[in-house]
Every structure is written in C-alpha cells, then in structure tokens.
C-alpha cells in the first residue's frame, strides 16, 4: 500500500472549522466519506480519546491524529486524510506552534498503522513537503510530492 493511494482514498479538506481540538476533529470526521464498517461516532470517539492521552501535534503546525487501536477490519479501507483548518488551534505542541494542518491516519492493523505513521513522519520532516502543507497545496500537488518520496523509498 502506498501513502499516495491512502491519501487518494481519504482526500484533502480545506477550511475545517472549530474552536477546540475535539470540535475540529468532530468536524473533520463529519466531512469524510467513511467505509460502511466504520461510523462517524466510532471514529470521533477514538481520535478524541487518543488526543486526551497525549496530543498528536508533531510540531511545525502539524498534528497526526489517529485512533489508538485499528478500527477497520479490511486493509482495503485504510485511508489518510489531510485537513487544512480554518484557523490554527492550540494542540499542545512541544514547539508551541498552533496546528493548522491535520493528517488523520485510519488503519486496519497495528503493523500497517506503524508503517503509515513512520512514512508520514518522514514526509513531515521534509521542508519541501511542509512548504506544500503551509501553502495548502491541492490534492494533486500533495499526491505528486508523496509519489516522488515513494520512488525514493523503494
């Protein structure tokens, strides 16, 4: 499974509103088209519970929300969603920067979750990818950048 394919499945959303972490996450989940085996309430509850354990902000205005445990039974339903917020939100990031971009990861197995999280973390360390996020690039631009990275990973 490629990160680009996961993003194609999950999509890119712009101007997700909310005044708190839980409100933003709730609004994002409501915008996503979920597989039939997963309800909005299940996903909202899981990502909010994970944030309550420890914030998923990774710095540079980015957070990687994800359920603590896999919620999907079929790896074909896994997805990544990138969301650009209407306004930056305090996410308790170690660097103190408010979050303006979310990369939601929803996986089917712990192994695929860790693999996906490691690849996304790598991308977020790349200045060129972070620049695309700061510019709120199009889905096509983001997928092209991810595909370039995927070629290097193989």
**3-153: what CATH class?**
alpha beta
pTM exceeds 0.75: yes
Q: How many CB atoms lie within 10 A of CB 106?
A: 28
**pLDDT band at residue 1 under the 50/70/90 scheme:** confident
48/108 Cα distance (integer angstroms): 18
Q: Give domain limits for the chain.
A: 3-153
Summarised one tens digit per residue, pLDDT across range 65-77 is 999 899 998 999 9
- Is the four-CA dihedral 109, 113, 119, 120 of positive or negative sign? positive
Q: Residue 80 pLDDT more than 90?
A: yes
Q: Give the residue-averaged pLDDT of 32-60.
A: 96
């Amino acid at each position: 499974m490629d990160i680009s394919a996961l993003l194609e499945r999950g999509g890119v959303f712009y101007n997700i509103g909310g005044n708190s972490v839980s409100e933003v996450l709730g609004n994002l989940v409501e915008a996503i088209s979920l597989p039939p085996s997963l309800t909005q309430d299940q996903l909202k509850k899981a990502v909010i519970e994970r944030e309550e354990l420890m914030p998923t902000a990774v710095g540079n205005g980015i957070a990687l929300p994800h359920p603590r445990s896999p919620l999907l039974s079929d790896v074909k339903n896994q997805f990544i969603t990138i969301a650009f917020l209407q306004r930056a939100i305090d996410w308790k990031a170690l660097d103190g920067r408010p979050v303006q971009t979310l990369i939601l990861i929803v996986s089917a197995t712990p192994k695929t979750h860790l693999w996906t999280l490691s690849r996304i973390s790598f991308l977020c360390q790349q200045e060129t990818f972070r620049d695309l996020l700061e510019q709120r690039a199009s889905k096509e631009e983001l997928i092209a950048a991810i595909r370039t990275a995927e070629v290097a990973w193989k």
